[in-house]
Amino acid sequence: VDGAVPGVPRKDHCPHCLNSNLGNCGYNTFNNYDDFVDSTGVPMPWISQAVYNAGEIITVKSYLSTHKNGHMEIVACNDGA
């Protein structure tokens, strides 16, 4: 795979494509985010960036730019816990 680097996920150039889902984390034409693999196809370990407790309030910062008055849904991926 061109640009493949061990331990680094594939580049994703289609952020809105994660609207589709086969399990927990979504997929697009190039990536299934339920499979934690690097850009060479080798499984990667799960590394949590944060851990939250049920009922805890979190802050999510984002930017939505759309010409169709779109909306955003935030969904947690509970895989790898």
Question: Using one digit for the tens of pLDDT, what is the confidence trace for 21-35?
Answer: 766 677 777 777 777
At 53-66, the pLDDT tens digits run: 888 888 888 877 77
Which residue, among 24, 16, 4, has the nearest Cα to 72 in the 3D structure? Answer: 16
What distance in Å separates the CA atoms of residue 57 and residue 59, rounded to the nearest whole number? Answer: 7
Which pair of structure tokens corresponds to residue 57?
A: 């309030």
Q: Which pLDDT score is estimated for 16? A: 64
